[in-house]
Every structure is written in C-alpha cells, then in structure tokens.
Structure 1
Amino acid sequence: MASDPVLLTGAAGFIGFHVARRLLAQGQRVIGVDNLNAYYDPRLKEARLAELAPHNAFSFVKLDLADRAGTEQLFAETRPGTVIHLAAQAGVRYSLTNPHAYAEANLIGFLNVLEGCRHAGVGHLVYASSSSVYGANGKTPFSVSDSVDHPVSLYAATKKANELMAHTYSHLYRLPTTGLRFFTVYGPWGRPDMAMWIFTEAILAGRPIQLFNYGRMRRDFTYIDDIVEGVVRVADRVPAPDPAWSNTNPDPSISNAPYRVYNIGNNHPEELLHLVDVLEAALGRKAIRELAPIQPGDVPETSADVEALTRDVGFKPATPIETGVARFVDWYRAYHRV
C-alpha cells in the first residue's frame, strides 16, 4: 500500500475494526465506511469507532454502499489507492429469513464498490468472501482449487457471486482483485451473533447452550490477529495474471486476469464440543449443554487448505484455540464488566 489512503468498508465491524487499527499503527491513512445498521447492537459498532477516532489518520463516512450515488461520490472524493471491502450482510441463518438484505448489501453494494474502483483507478481491491462458498463439500481441507458451485445458503451464494463479479472486472478492466475466504473468525470485539459470544454470554448467565448437529460440528476457528495479518499482507501483494493459466486448465483458482482468491483459516478444525471445553476452562464455569439437530444452511465441517496463501505471502494462521479463547474471554469480561 502506498501513501494514498486505504478505503476500508465495514470499518465499524469486527474484522474491519481490527484491520483499521493495524493499518493506523503502520502509519497508513484510513477512510472508514460503515452504515452502522442494526443487524446487531449498533452500540458495539460505535464503541469500536470510538477506539479508532483518536487517530489523526482515520476519518469516517457513514454510508450504505447500496446507495449508488453516495458510493460514486465517495470514490470521486477520496480517490483511494487500495480498497479493502469488508462490509457485507453477514450470517448464514439470518439469510433464511431476510434474503433481501443480502441482495442489497452483498450484490448491489459490491457492484457499486467495483464500479467505484473501476472509475477511480484503484490499484487493488481486496474483498471478503467466506468459507461458506464451499457448501457441503465433503473433501477436506477445502482448497481454492475446489469447485464451489453448490452453496447451501443464500449468504454463501452472494459470496460466490462476489468472486464471479470481481473476476469479471479483473478481466474486463484489469482491476486487480483478491478475494479472501475467511474461516470462522473469533476474538476480542467479536460479533454477538457468533458462537463464541453466544456461548460465553449463556455460560456466565447459567443458561443452556444449543450444540447443533449434536455437538459434532467441526469449525476451523481462526483468531482475529491471524486474519488481520493475512489481510494486510495480501493487500500489499497486487495480483498479476497467473502464468499457469490456459483455457484448458480446469483449476478455478487460476486466471489470466489480475485475480486471486485465498483461504484464511487456522488449518486445524476443532469440534464444537472441544470449543465448549476450552470456554469452560477460560470462564471457570460449566456449560449446560443441549444437543440439537443440524440447522438448514449449516455445514458439518469447515477446514482450510492455506497452501496458496502461504506460498504467495509467506504466512499461515496458527493461533491455538486455547490462546484465542482466553483472550476473547478476558476482553468480554472487561467490556461487559462481568
């Protein structure tokens, strides 16, 4: 990243906040964008922004990226060198009951960002995809070379669509784009709709926790600091057409456009029951466990093959879940004063 400002969307979100903090610590100018919607308590988003506000190199724009005219104006006025696009409507289960929110944020919003990048001459667009694109892929670990044509939730379908849209712009307009398939991110300042927060809150309150698929879910839990390291390293590596590409090569991760997709995961799946054990140890309390069947849209296991990430940027996540959970619990207790 050069001296031009970084435009960071979703800056008040969990991952966006941590990426902003890291970039500011490196002396980078950051323009943060967020619509501060009420998918979860906006006070948490405002608290994250309050942590960023004292930095002179940080400025904030409240904007819904589905607003075409507003997004055009944003790019025209800021002329960023790099865009890190993390804003999205998140959540698998929420997509079952609020599908239009995903079309507006993840499809229309993403198109507006692509158009903004194209017309502003942005040097590199890095955007959030998701491990959800792998659907019920039975082959593990999930590789960027695997087919991802069978999503099992609308959320996953919109993330797959983002990758297709990005490739189109990389091909047509030579806009360098890199998609990052995040695997179950957790850590301090995390989201209240995710298992780590839900379980911690319930255990401290003495309420039961529901373990879907009878606790036999396996997730590649990835600590937030590892995610941030991956994002920042990838942002500094502008993709070029892959010399291995040919029109007879079936590998979907290879392109003759300046386009890449990477997994960022801990490459060490953990069973949900083990996560609860680790949380109990960190909290010093036992959970009341309720076993339940798997929910629509969920997948039994996620597991990241990070070979491409390691090869290209020299990094792979490795924070043990015991370390990450202890840090999350310490933050949670401090934030909620419990």
Structure 2
Amino acid sequence: MTEALKTLDQASIEQHFHYLHQHPSLAFEETQAASYIAGLLREWGYEVTEGIGKTGVVGRLKVGDGQMRIGLRADTDALPVQEAADLPYKSKIEGKSHTCGHDAHTAMLLGAAEYLAKTRNFNGTLNLIFQPAEEIMAGAPAMIADGLFERFPMDVVFGMHNMPGLPTGKLHFTGGPIMAAVDNWEIVLTGVGSHGSMPEKSIDPLVAGASLVMSLQTIVSRNVAPMDAAVVSVGAFLAGDAGNVIPQTATLRLSTRTRKPETREMVLNKIKSITKATAEAYNVGFEIREGQPGAVLINDAEQTQICVDIARKVFGDEQVVTPGPTFMGSEDFAFYAQKVPGVYCFIGNGNTANVHHPMYVFDKSNLPVGAAYWIAVAENYLK
C-alpha cells in the first residue's frame, strides 16, 4: 500500500461524491458541477480553464522542469433516470441521477488533485480533464473541437470507469480494442396518410418500417463473422396516434455497436442500402439522419502495460486483472485515444445493479482506490 493510499483525505473525497450525487445535471448542463470543480482546483493552486466544450473544465499544474505531459480525465454528466435507491445522499433533482457513477469518477479525480497539489511529488505537467456529456458521446468531441490538445498538449491520456459485475476495487486493464463504437441514427420514412378504412389511398410508412425493422436484423446475423461482434438495435419505432389512421411518417431510432472499424463501415453501409431498397420496394421516401460518428476505444498496448505495472506496485498483483474484459458499451474517451496514446481501465463495483439502472449504487470503498491509482499514474509518469 502506497503512502498516498494511507494519507488520502477520504472524508473530503466522500464529501465531493455526496455533493455531486445530490446535484446531477444532464449533458452540457453541468454548470453547477463545473463551478464546484473549478473553485476547488483554484483553491489548490491549479491553473483553471472553464467552458471548454461548453461545460468542460481543465486544471493544469506544472511542477519542475519535466517535459512529460499527461491528462487524467473524469466525466461529469448524469442521466435522465429517476433514482430508486433510498440513499441518504440521494439526488435532489427529480428525474435526474448519477446512476452511472460519473459523480464518483469526478470525486476520485478531485481527491487525487488535492493530494498532488499539496505534495507536488512529480516533475512535469499534469492536466486534469473534467468532461461533460459523455452519456451522449458528445463531450469529448466538443472539448477536442475547442482545442483541448492544442491548448493543453498531452503525451498520454488516461480514463477510468466503474463496472458492476467485476470484483470490488480490482483494476482491469486490456491493451487494444476494449469498447465498441456506437452510432445512433434516425430513419424517417414518408408515405401518404389515409383513413384506416381506405388503405388503397395510402402509401403506408408503418408497414415499410415494420419490414425495415426485420430486415435490419439480418445485418449482424448474415454479415458479421461469429468471432467478431456487432449489434443493430431499433430502440424506438414511432408511427401514428390512432388505430383508424394510416400515418404520414414512421421514424426508427437505431443504435449500432461495432468493435472493429471495418465492421462499423460495413454495418453502416448495410443500413443505408437496406433502407434504400426497402423504401423503393414500398414506394416511400426516406431520410437517414446520422448522429455523432462512433469510434472504437483502443488502448495503447505499451502504455497499458506501464499502467498495469504501476497498479501492481500500488495494490498488489491480486488486485490487478490483465487482460480484463471488453464490452459492447461505448465511451467517448475513444476520441481522445485517437489523438494521443490512451489507457482506459475499469474498477470493479461488485455485485450491484448495472449502470443506468434506477437501483444502481456506486460502492464508496472504491473512492480512495481510484484516487490512489490516479496519484500513482501521475507520480510515475511525471518523474
């Protein structure tokens, strides 16, 4: 056990966690959290820049003459989920909650920030990235577009997420692809509405949409190799309001997940071609509205091994798992890892409800573990 883990102000970290948990904000609305974070960082002596990527905050601390520059990232946004767990520090905002643990991620990084500012046991430049809007895959692209890496150059960037189902407090590392790319698209089919008793006077987009839903399911089953992985889900099918009215339009909302860039390209092209063919077959118009382009999260193999060695030194071999699991979920940290070498790890949250579930609860015993890991990364990379 390192000195940091022994001397961390765990009560302060928990206080940050409780405050952030009680005051959740959705993507690009995290002004209260941003103000809270910025105030603390300034108090501890960081150079603070607010408003990067709308509501992002970066704290920079340069110590000594070291040339190495690293970034530690935490996400700050919450979800539009009504919290069901009866916690003494439960959300005070109706219909919004930190049921993914971003409040804990931020609290852990704040705990490390305070310790590192006080001890200054490093030589180089430390950049702390508090990022908005991870849940909609838009915060990282927004911060990058706002000049994140030009204004705060980094040689390596690091991220961490809690994961229910993995043993509490254990850190999991995997080099290479670890999380899927997500692409959220909307397809609008336009026909001709009519009275339900006169279908011959209509061009029915609902029937076309029903056919399209089924056809899209063949993309993975008949085009993706069994040893590969992909998902095409239609999560919403919106058409009509009454049983006796054939609607004018039908809207499908899709979420696709892919683990390889080439698989992603194939899946998206298949969605386009099947939609076009279905629209032509049913004589309806169509429009495909593409969302934020997805990216596979790929850990730099060399830097991942360095982090494994650091974690083993801090916590012991039994607390570090490598290679760890990979997931079909997605993370916009992937966009950082496209710009500079990145390492993203998971900290086990134990046998709890899954993230995004109303009964999800973050295991607070992870708070000092996550903070100690960040401290160890900073002190070892910035020697």
**Greater RCO, CA 8 A, separation 6+:** 2
Which one has a larger percent helix, Structure 1 or Structure 2?
1
**TM score, norm. by length of structure 2:** 0.25
